[in-house]
Structures are given as C-alpha cells and as structure tokens.
C-alpha cells in the first residue's frame, strides 16, 4: 500500500515527506521537477521512489498514482492546479488528502466527487492542515458538549507574523476579494469579502482585535454533522482593512487577476521558500470557538509543522482503512473526533475553555 506525496519538493510538501519518514513510511515522491525530486529522494537511504507528473498532463497523473492507496497533494493554488489532481485520484479509486485553504475548491470537490467517492468507499479530505482540520475537530467536540446552539463563531489568528511560504502567499492572492459561502439560518448563503466585522480579544492579549467574516472551511463542514443554525468563520486582520471598505475589495480583486496576479506571483517566487525551522518553532496559530457564553480557545504550535503531522496522521488512518464514512468529507466525519483530538494534543495542540 503506497502513499504518494505530490508537491513533495515544495515547502509544505517537504515537511510532509520528513514527517512521513519520522513515522516510518516510505512515500513515493511526486512533482514537476526531476532534478529536485531526485535530490530530495537521495536524502534517504535507500533512496525513495520518485514520479514526475504535471497537473495539465492527465497521463502523467494517472501514472503517478499507479499502485497508490493514498495521495497527499500540496500543489496550489488549488483553484489553479488542484482539480485535475483530485479528478485523477477519483478516477484511480484511491483516498485523497490536500492542504488547501481555498473554500471555492472545497465546494467544487464536494459537488463533483462526493457520490463517486462514496460509491468507491473512498475518502477525500480537503484542508488536511492547520486550516481547517483542528477547527472542525474542535467544533465537533465543542458542540457535542454544549448541545444545540443558534450560532457558532470560529475565529482564526493565522500565526503568519513570523512568515509564510510562497505557496501560502499565492493562495492568499487567489482568495483575496473572492466571494464565498457562509452558513446562515440553516442554509448555505453567499458571502462577499468584508461583509461583516467584529471585535474579539484573543487569549493573552489586552487589546481587542478586528476580524472579518471570511469563507472558511468550517462553514461548509460543520453544518453537515451539527445541529446549528449559523456557522460563521472569521479572520483576524489589521484594523485598517475593513475601514477601507470598497477600496479594499477593489484592490483585492485586482491582485487576484490577470497581469497584476502574474506580477505579484513573480515577486513571490523571489522570496524564501518559507519560514526557517527556528522561526516556525516560535510561531503559533489560534482558533477561537464561541457559542453564546461558551468559548474554547485552541492553540496550535507551528502551523506548517502541524499541517505535516495532520496530513500524515490522516494518511496513516486511511492506509489502515479506519474511516467510518466515505465521500468528500471532513476528518471529523471520516473518523472519531475524540481520537483525532487526542492525536492533536500529542502534536502539541492545547485548549482552554471559558464561560
């Protein structure tokens, strides 16, 4: 039973390869650059197997997945490159994990592939990463504890102050100004950028922080397994951003399209691949869940390292066929949320509850 890691030479992909080896898995390394793949493969003894594949070459994707049981892909932005890869996994009839934070891609995967994956008893989990797996798992436990509620608010502090990878920055460009979906009055509803703002005080901070309503993954996944009328996902941003209003929307829309996007992508490619190990060890993200007077704060160390741990742990569970449901679903639907939470705790995730 083989695990294929596509995007293995990228920043997040390399961390996932390292984590797989720590867990005594010998993954197949896949990507678009032969020399980079071979150099990475030779870091291990004996050298790992490599396979070349490109998102615009269906035959290469099919060959990449030969004899595979699980695919982890980090190749993004997923709205640009992800769909052919996901389709190849569905066609091959294997389990699929990705590290996307792009809600539009998650919506499309669910619409296109859910029933085919169910028919094959296979699992596709989008966002097997800091975004949005810990939040979804925590929401399942949180809502089970407090019972039904009218509104669940989930707020992210991304922990990117110490640096972001090139892939993350490009995905942010693609997300900037994009419309999305929220869950309102028991229905999925359209969400425009900067539709709403709110103030929140994070644990350990004296000052209130500004957050904007944004298209997070939990707005899609939580309503599928919880009795809740509204699920709103929020993102901590600089306080000036909402005050710019229409100008912010226009600037974000411009940044994600055409010549401007290409120019910004070129600039991003000149940046370091991502934060150093030392920098990552000093970083952390926070997820806050609120329902009425109930609140739980989730503290996640090193979002990139945690993403690698989450992706490999879920791959291991799928290799062992431990899933209890199939289709395009969240980790909290595919597996027991209490067991998943205990694994997150082992990875260094902590929580604090308030009333």
Shared domain check, 80 and 139:
no
Shared domain check, 244 and 181:
yes
Give me the pLDDT at residue 247, please: 44
Shared domain check, 238 and 89:
no
The CATH number of the domain where 212 resides is what?
A: 3.30.360.10
- Whether 96 contacts 123, CB under 8 Å: yes
Give me the pLDDT at residue 147, please: 79
Quote the number of domains for the chain. Answer: 2
Shared domain check, 343 and 297:
no
pLDDT surpassing 60 at residue 252? no
Give me the pLDDT at residue 165, please: 66
Name the pLDDT band for 260 (thresholds 50, 70, 90).
low
Shared domain check, 240 and 111:
no
Q: Is 0.85 topped by the overall pTM?
A: yes
Phi-psi label, residue 281: left if phi above 0, alpha if psi -120 to 50, beta otherwise: alpha
Q: CA distances (Å), 103 to each of 68, 131, 171, 181, 283, in order? A: 27, 10, 11, 8, 24
Name the pLDDT band for 281 (thresholds 50, 70, 90).
confident
Cβ-in-10-Å burial (0-12, 13-18, 19+) of 66 comes to exposed
- Provide the domain limits for residue 253: 133-302
Shared domain check, 190 and 98:
no
Kindly report the backbone phi and psi dihedral angles of residue 38, in degrees, each rounded to the nearest multiple of 5, phi listed first.
-65, -40
Give me the pLDDT at residue 64, please: 97
Token pair in block for residue 333? 């639907």
- Distance, in Å, from the CA atom of 224 to the CA atom of 239, rounded to the nearest integer, reads 33
Tracing tokens 């950028």 back to the chain, one arrives at 193
Shared domain check, 293 and 158:
yes
pLDDT surpassing 90 at residue 264? no
- Whether 74 contacts 51, CB under 8 Å: no
Give per-residue pLDDT as tens, 75-117: 988 998 999 999 999 999 999 999 999 999 999 999 999 999 9
């Amino acid at each position: 039973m083989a695990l294929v890691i596509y995007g293995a030479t990228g920043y997040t992909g390399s961390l996932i390869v390292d984590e797989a080896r720590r867990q005594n898995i010998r993954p197949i390394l896949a990507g678009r650059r032969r020399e980079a793949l071979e150099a990475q493969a030779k870091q291990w003894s004996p050298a790992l197997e490599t396979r070349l594949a490109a998102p615009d070459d269906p035959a290469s994707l099919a060959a990449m997945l030969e004899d595979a049981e699980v695919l982890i892909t980090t190749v993004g932005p997923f709205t640009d490159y992800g769909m052919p890869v996901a389709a190849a996994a569905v066609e091959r009839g294997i389990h699929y994990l990705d590290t996307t934070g792009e809600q539009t891609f998650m919506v499309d995967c669910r619409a296109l592939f859910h029933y085919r994956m169910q028919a094959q008893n296979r699992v596709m989990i989008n966002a097997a990463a800091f975004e949005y797996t810990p939040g979804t798992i925590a929401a399942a436990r949180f809502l089970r504890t407090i019972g039904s509620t009218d509104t669940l608010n989930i707020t992210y502090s991304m922990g990117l102050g110490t640096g972001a990878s090139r892939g993350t920055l490009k995905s942010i460009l693609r997300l900037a100004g994009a419309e999305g979906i929220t869950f309102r009055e028991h229905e999925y509803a359209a969400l425009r950028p900067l539709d709403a703002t709110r103030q929140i005080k994070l644990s350990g901070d004296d000052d209130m922080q500004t957050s904007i309503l944004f298209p997070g993954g939990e707005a899609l996944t939580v309503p599928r397994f919880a009795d809740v009328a509204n699920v709103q996902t929020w993102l901590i941003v600089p306080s000036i951003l909402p005050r710019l209003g229409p100008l912010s929307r226009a600037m974000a829309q411009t940044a994600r399209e055409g010549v401007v996007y290409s120019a910004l992508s070129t600039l991003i490619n000149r940046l370091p691949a991502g934060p150093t190990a030392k920098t990552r060890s000093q970083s952390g993200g926070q997820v806050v869940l609120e329902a009425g007077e109930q609140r739980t704060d989730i503290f996640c160390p090193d979002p990139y390292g945690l993403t690698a741990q989450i992706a490999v742990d879920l791959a291991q569970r799928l290799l062992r066929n431990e899933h209890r449901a199939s289709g395009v679903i969240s980790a909290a639907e595919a597996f027991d949320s209490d067991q998943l939470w205990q694994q997150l705790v082992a990875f260094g995730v902590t929580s604090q509850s308030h009333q």
